[in-house]
Chain A
Amino acid sequence: MAGAGSGRRNRYLAPEATRNPLLCLKEKKEDNSILRSNQLRQDGRSCTDIRPVSIQSGIVSHVTSSAYIELGDTKVLCSILGPRHTQKDFNLEGQVLCQVKFAPFSCHFQKPSQQEEKFMSSIISEAIVGAIRTETFPKLETLVNIVVLENDGSMLTAAILCASIALATSGIEMKDLPTACTVSYSDKASNIYYDPTIAEEYSTANENKDVIGYKSVVYLPLLREISGVYQVGVAESHSVSSQLLEACIEGGLRYHERVRQYLKDLA
């Protein structure tokens, strides 16, 4: 596993191959389960509690608008540029281009590859474009740039909420304010964990046997429509999927309240 990841320019000083110290641990983690004996999670939350949300806007200079959100330890910054002139072909609808990048120090193990960043970018851009009135800026494009400074689970949720707040403060006309929520689930959805941390999220690198998958949903609360779904892991039947969907929408509405409160206080 090369330590000099993609895009590193300082190759002449970097060693050829490096190992992540987390792979050479002396002590194995004793307690890997999500729930402790008192039915609370490792950080003291119950299964349905979401982490405290902290929001700030207008941090970045020389851009149209920006927002910063913290979901517990997950920290995401978003800036909006535009609408502005584009070199691309004529289009009656304005274009919204979204790019997500992870900071090199944002993940405990390796940061996601470029392909995965592109994948996340396309999910987010297709989810938020439904809420933007793109007919108000034909022939122009708007850039939504998102940087993940620290990833401690629920990254998609944080990115969507951050983009919503930045769009709301940018002056671009919106039909709705997208909200999102991530839940991870155990076998047969007997336990649904809202807003999982990175240790509670399902991944093949995770040794946690309690969770078998997670689902992220992007929801438009005013239109009452779902504009983004991403589910991994095996859900036993389609009714389990529906259960998870209901949970995500309920969580999304809670975040929506919080965002609305912030925007009201801002005005």
Chain B
Amino acid sequence: MADRILSDFEISYIKQGVLADMRSDGRSCRDYRSFELRSGIVSNTSGSAEIKLERTNILVGVKAEIGQPNPLNPNKGRIEFFVDCSALASPKFEGRRGEDLGRNLAHRLSDLYENSNCIDLESLSIIPGQDCWIIYVDALVLEYSGGVLDCLSIAVKGALANTKIPKLTVIGEGEEQEIEISDNPFDSTSIDTNNVPVFVSLSLIGNQFIVDASHEEEACSLCQLSVGVNHKGSICSILKEGAGSFKHRQYNEAISLASEIGVSVIEKITLTNNTAPEKML
């Protein structure tokens, strides 16, 4: 994901800073930057959220629609992710170049949600084998300056927590079942997002893993570890990206650091959700 070209002096400055546990912006290797998460900002969606972390800005909208379940899992609903890295986020996304990154990010998210069983998909089923709720999560990267995967996962968690799904009743039996959606717009259920994990990315600079790398730090990192962590500190997913390699000890320290950071980030999100004003229709 690194696209900034740094001079040798800049790279050496960053590496020495990391060694001394004093990064360019004064943080230690374990400090996360503060981010701003607002939910319920887009009115014609079932749920939405926006995250701002320094120069990275991502907007997520969620829509719930009725459709057919996956034949492999006829009793479960579905979640589909789509990430749009448009050209306005960064000049390197001009034309279709942002598509690859968008597809990659969407794939990482769907991998995480599928394999950590964080959302009760069975509750999204309406008529098993025939109809279910399909949750479409669309993310728009408005501004890109590194740390995109982390921010994306936080914004998606915020948007899902904010999502309202209309209540419905199933009338009839057997082949003649029909769905009736409640007329009252306030009559809705929400999705339980307590177990939903977030990504914590760690970058390897020199011999040390650092949390929440800035754009410049990402550019001189040898490799990245992105770890999915849930509110209990359990590890839901690990992927190493980039061409570098590391030792056991560094890996173990990184994972335990990610676990701690993940828990504190999720605490912050929950705090934001609880204090955010309810969107008035």
Give the B-binding residues of A (Cβ under 8 A): 1, 19-20, 23, 109, 115-116, 119, 122-123, 126-127, 129-130, 202, 204-205, 213, 215, 220, 223-238, 240-242, 245-246, 249
Residues of A within 8 A of B258 (CB): 238
Q: Does B239 contact A (CB under 8 A)?
A: yes
Determine if B252 and A238 form an interchain contact, defined as CB atoms under 8 angstroms apart: yes
Determine if A230 and B238 form an interchain contact, defined as CB atoms under 8 angstroms apart: yes
Residues of B within 8 A of A231 (CB): 235, 237-239
Nearest Cβ on chain B to A258's Cβ, whole angstroms: 22
Q: Does B203 contact A (CB under 8 A)?
A: no
Q: Which of B72, B242, B247 contacts A226 (CB 8 A)?
A: B247
Given A204-B73, A233-B115; A226-B246 close (CB under 8 Å): yes
Determine if B71 and A1 form an interchain contact, defined as CB atoms under 8 angstroms apart: yes
Complex CA–CA separation, A130 to B241 (angstroms):
12
30 interchain pairs, CB-CB under 8 A? A23-B72, A116-B107, A119-B104, A122-B241, A123-B239, A126-B223, A126-B241, A130-B244, A130-B245, A204-B72, A204-B115, A215-B238, A223-B245, A226-B246, A226-B248, A229-B225, A229-B240, A231-B235, A231-B237, A233-B115, A234-B234, A237-B233, A237-B259, A241-B255, A242-B248, A242-B251, A242-B252, A242-B255, A245-B248, A245-B252
Determine if B246 and A237 form an interchain contact, defined as CB atoms under 8 angstroms apart: no
Q: Does B236 contact A (CB under 8 A)?
A: yes
Residues of A within 8 A of B248 (CB): 226, 242, 245-246, 249
Closest to A129 in B: B243
Residues of B within 8 A of A227 (CB): 240, 244-245
- Apart from A227-B240, A229-B225, A246-B248, list 13 A-B contacts with CB within 8 A: A122-B241, A130-B245, A205-B72, A220-B245, A226-B246, A227-B245, A231-B239, A232-B237, A235-B234, A237-B259, A241-B235, A241-B252, A249-B248
Which residue of A19, A20, A119 has the most chain B CB atoms within 10 A of its CB atom?
A119
Determine if B245 and A225 form an interchain contact, defined as CB atoms under 8 angstroms apart: yes
Residues of A within 8 A of B117 (CB): 234
Closest to A224 in B: B247
Determine if A23 and B241 form an interchain contact, defined as CB atoms under 8 angstroms apart: no
The B interface is mostly helix, strand or loop, or mixed, namely mixed
Given A232-B111, A234-B236, A238-B252; A23-B247 close (CB under 8 Å): no
Given A23-B71, A220-B245, A226-B245; A236-B240 close (CB under 8 Å): no
Which residue of B235, B237, B241 has the most chain A CB atoms within 10 A of its CB atom?
B235
Q: Does B116 contact A (CB under 8 A)?
A: yes
For the complex of A and B, the 3 pairs showing the least CB-CB separation, nearest first, are: A225-B245, A231-B238, A227-B245
Residues of A within 8 A of B73 (CB): 204-205
Complex CA–CA separation, A232 to B234 (angstroms):
12
Residues of A within 8 A of B241 (CB): 122, 126
Within 8 A of A (CB), among B5-44: none
Q: Which of B104, B234, B238 contacts A236 (CB 8 A)?
A: B234
Residues of B within 8 A of A238 (CB): 233, 235, 252, 255-256, 258-259
Which residue of A204, A245, A246 has the most chain B CB atoms within 10 A of its CB atom?
A204
Nearest Cβ on chain B to A25's Cβ, whole angstroms: 13
Complex CA–CA separation, A235 to B73 (angstroms):
24
Closest to A240 in B: B235
Residues of B within 8 A of A109 (CB): 72
Nearest Cβ on chain B to A205's Cβ, whole angstroms: 5
Given A129-B243, A204-B73; A234-B230 close (CB under 8 Å): yes
Nearest Cβ on chain B to A84's Cβ, whole angstroms: 21
Determine if B243 and A241 form an interchain contact, defined as CB atoms under 8 angstroms apart: no
Q: Does B94 contact A (CB under 8 A)?
A: no
Closest to B116 in A: A234
Residues of A within 8 A of B246 (CB): 225-226
Determine if B111 and A228 form an interchain contact, defined as CB atoms under 8 angstroms apart: no
Given A226-B245, A241-B255; A233-B107 close (CB under 8 Å): no
Complex CA–CA separation, A227 to B240 (angstroms):
8
Which residue of A226, A238, A246 has the most chain B CB atoms within 10 A of its CB atom?
A238
Closest to A233 in B: B115
Q: Which of B104, B240, B251 contacts A230 (CB 8 A)?
A: B240
Complex CA–CA separation, A109 to B71 (angstroms):
11
